[in-house]
Every structure is written in C-alpha cells, then in structure tokens.
Amino acid sequence: MPLRRRLAIAAAAAVGVAIVLVAIVSYMVVRAQLRGQVDDALTAQAANAQRAGFRAIGGADNVPTLPPSAGGPAYAQVVSSAGGVVYNFGDVPLPVSASVLAVAQGRSKTLMTDVTIDGSHLRLLVFGVQNGAVELARPLDGVDRVLSNLRLILLLLCAAGIALAAMLGRMAARRVLTPLADVARAAEHIGETEDLTTRIHVRADDEVGQLATRFNAMLDRLESSRAAVDESVRAQRQLVADASHELRTPVTSLRTNVEVLLQGGTLSDDDRERLLADVVEQSEELSALVGDLIELARGDQPIGSPDDVRLDGIVEEAVDRARRNAPGIEFHTQLEPVVVDGVPERLLRAVNNLLDNAARHTHPGTAVDVRVDATGVRIRDHGDGVDPQDLPHVFDRFYRGVNSRGRQGSGLGLAIVRQVAEQHGGSVTAANAPDGGAVFEIRLPVEVESAGADSIGGFAGGKSAGPLESSRV
C-alpha cells in the first residue's frame, strides 16, 4: 500500500476515533440530562404527594387521592403490601413486580426503573407508604425520540468527519510527501541516466526538507567524486599514451644500437665505443624516464599520515646534491627555519627537480638563488627565462618548452613538482624575473619557527629535535 494512502487512513482513523469518542460522550451527557429531568419531575411529584398527606392507605374505600399539587401529567397506582392494586389513577395499569412488592412491604425504600407497557416506554418511581406503596410513572417517548434523532445526527457527523479527515489527510500527505516523491524520482532518474546534476527543490525547512537538503549535498559529493575519478582515469590514460610515445624513441634507438653491436662486422674501435656510449646514455635516459613515471604513478596515491618536516633542512640537502651534480653553478641560499606537514621523500624529489631544472637553464658563471621563508620555497635561475607561450604549460606532463628542446630530460620533472605541491595543500608557479631568468615558487602551508629553535627530527641530515615555538602561516 502506498505511503500516501497509509497516512490518509491513519489520519482518518485518528480523527474518526476522536469524533466517535466525542459523539459517545455528547450522547451520554444529553441522555443523562433528559432522563434526569424526568427523574427530577417524578421525585418532585412524589414529594408533593407526601406533603399533601398521602402517607398511608387503609381499605379500598379509604384511599387518598393524589392532589393537583402532586404534578402531572403522570400515571399513578397504589399497591397494598399484599401486592394488590388498591387504586389506579390513570388508564394505564402499572406492573407490580417483586421489586415493587419489596417497597410495599417495607424491605426497600424507593425504586426507580424503566418499564414498557403496551409499547409505551415509561419511567417508574415507587415509594413506600404505610401498608403499601405508590407507583408514579411518566412517559419517555419524547425523550426517546430526541435521543433517536441525536444518535442519527451524531452518526452522520461521525461519517462526515471521518470522510473529511480522510480527504484532508490525503491532501496533507500529498503535500508532505511531495519532497519524498521528488527524491524517489531523482534517484530513479539517476539510476536510469547516471546524471548526477539533478537536484531536488527544497520546499520547507522541516524534516523532509532537511532530507532533501542532505540528498542534494550527497549528490554534490558524488558528482565531485565522479568528476575526480573521471579526471584521474583521463589523466592515467593520457599518461599511458604519453609514456608509450616517449618510451618508443629511446627503446627504438637502444634496440638499433644493440643490433648493430651484435652484428659486429667491420666496426672500428671508435665506432664501437661511440655506440656503447650511446647505449649507456639511452639506458640512463630510459631509466630516468621510467623512474619519473613511477614517481608520477606513486604520487597519485594519498600521502597517508604526514609528519612535521623541517622544509629548510630538506632544501639544504637538495642544494648540497645540486652542488655536487653541477659544480660550475653557484647556489646562494637564504633558509629560514620553517616546518611543513608532509612526506620528506616527495618534498625532496620536488626540490631536486626544481634545482636540476634551474642548473640546466642558468648561464655558466652565474648563480641560482634559493630561498625558504613563510611562503614556501623560491628558486631563481639566471638563464634565458621561460618563453611566454610556454609559461601556462611548463608543469604539464611531457611538455618540452622552446628553451628545453634539445636538452636531456623526460618532460616530467616539473609535473612531479606540481603534483607534490598539490598533495601537500600548496601550489607551484613559474614566472620570468624582470632582470632575466626564471622564478619557480612552491607555496606550502608552513609553520615559522622562532629564532634559535632547533630542527624537528630532520630528514636526511636534519638536526635533533628541541623545544620549539611556532605559528601556522
């Protein structure tokens, strides 16, 4: 059974029970009032008869009559203690039952009951007098007619009230359940079309409205998650396609050189040495490319539980490595003690890539400036800078700018830098310095250490931990 119909039935049942209870109480109150008026009239009539001297009966010829003050209209009958009818003051003979005899014989004081005589409904009052009892009766036909009409009216009111409650309950259920129907339709639409852009109109700030709001919020999260998954799948496919393209050239060249070496023939020693050198160089290039691909694939995974890492210590270690790999380049450092939440290995890889890029593009005899401060890491070379057309794309995978073509490299180093920065809640930018050269910045949420503070559990050469005071930037 639909929920709307169940709610309508429940509302109709609740209202019906309330109406029936009210009708029963109303009927009982009116019935008690009407019958109470008849009882009061009989009681007053009996009291008037007793005050008028009707206190005892003698022989059949010595029966006092009911005075006019006794009240009327009524039926009256005098019964002796033996059960005989001494006198009847009306045309209707009243019954002499065992209860009436009990009053006539003094075993009961009074009796009030209903009797039916020749189809007439009467209210009977019996009170005792000396040597007998007096029966007074009044008809209840008028009261019965009023109560009968009242029962019919109340029955019609109950039926009408229940029908109206069912109709109003159905209307209210339709209004209340409309948002639920919207949710059902939206879920059905999403199941059929996989369209997560559908949203539900929130009609009111009640429980059902809050359900619609939460459903919309769930759809927002699902849409964002799906977009992220689609983007991840697209990026993976693009990475595989680009990697296949980039790997084809060194693999083909390496295979060709190996085949030539295997053929032997009339190769001179110089040619053989040159081919072997090419094989070694191509192997190193292939190894570096595979390593960068592995790093990119590993970087797509969450960083897990980050640690508090001294960023200046990581940069200092990366600069030491760059000095060994590029002895003809000077590296000027200005390192402020800052802490970042992250993975030391990945941060070190990103800084190494930036320093290698700067060393490749700076002019001999010039310096690379390295700075760590409250914003992150800033590396500037003194080369030819980045072509303006290349600036928006320098962090794309396998992108080789105008100034990078012809140089060794996979085109993945700066892409790894961007990936690491974004994983740590930061960003990376590239720009040309006004007086020449390129400037690369990794902006990270860091903590600036107070002056004289020791290093926190440094990575790869960091100093031992000590008491620190820091503020989040």
pLDDT (tens digit, 0 to 9) for every residue of the chain, 473 residues total? 666 677 778 878 888 889 899 999 999 999 999 999 988 888 888 888 777 666 666 544 444 455 544 445 578 888 888 888 888 877 788 899 999 999 989 898 889 999 998 888 989 999 888 888 888 888 888 889 999 999 999 999 988 888 888 888 878 777 777 777 777 777 887 777 777 777 777 766 777 777 778 888 888 888 888 888 887 777 777 767 766 766 776 788 888 888 888 876 677 778 878 888 888 877 877 776 777 677 666 665 566 667 888 999 999 999 999 998 888 889 999 999 999 988 888 899 889 989 988 988 888 878 899 999 998 999 999 888 888 888 888 888 776 665 554 455 556 788 888 888 888 889 999 999 888 889 999 999 887 765 444 443 343 333 333 333 333 34
Q: Do the domain assignments include residue 181?
A: no
**What per-residue confidence (pLDDT) applies to 334?**
93
Distance between CA atoms of residues 399 and 405, nearest Å: 10
Q: Do the domain assignments include residue 186?
A: no
Task: Tell whether 16 and 98 lie within a shared domain.
Answer: yes
Q: How many CB atoms lie within 10 A of CB 339?
A: 22
pLDDT tens-digit series, residues 115-169: 998 888 989 999 888 888 888 888 888 889 999 999 999 999 988 888 888 888 8
Question: Where in the sequence is the domain holding 131, given as residue range(s)?
Answer: 3-146
146, 165, 189 - which closes a domain: 146
Task: Tell whether 284 and 360 lie within a shared domain.
Answer: no
270, 297, 324 - which closes a domain: 297
Query: 311, 444 in Cβ contact below 8 A?
Result: yes
Q: Do the domain assignments include residue 280?
A: yes
Q: Do the domain assignments include residue 354?
A: yes
Residue among 232, 455, 254 at smallest CA distance from 338? 455
In Å, how far are 15, 166, 177, 321 from 8, measured between CA atoms? 11, 5, 12, 79
Q: Do the domain assignments include residue 349?
A: yes
Q: Do the domain assignments include residue 402?
A: yes
Task: Tell whether 289 and 426 lie within a shared domain.
Answer: no
Task: Tell whether 423 and 330 lie within a shared domain.
Answer: yes
Task: Tell whether 452 and 313 lie within a shared domain.
Answer: yes
- 3 state DSSP class of 243: helix
Q: Do the domain assignments include residue 155?
A: no
105, 128, 146 - which closes a domain: 146
Structurally, the chain folds into a number of domains equal to: 3
Task: Tell whether 218 and 74 lie within a shared domain.
Answer: no
What's the CATH code of the domain at 219? 1.10.287.130
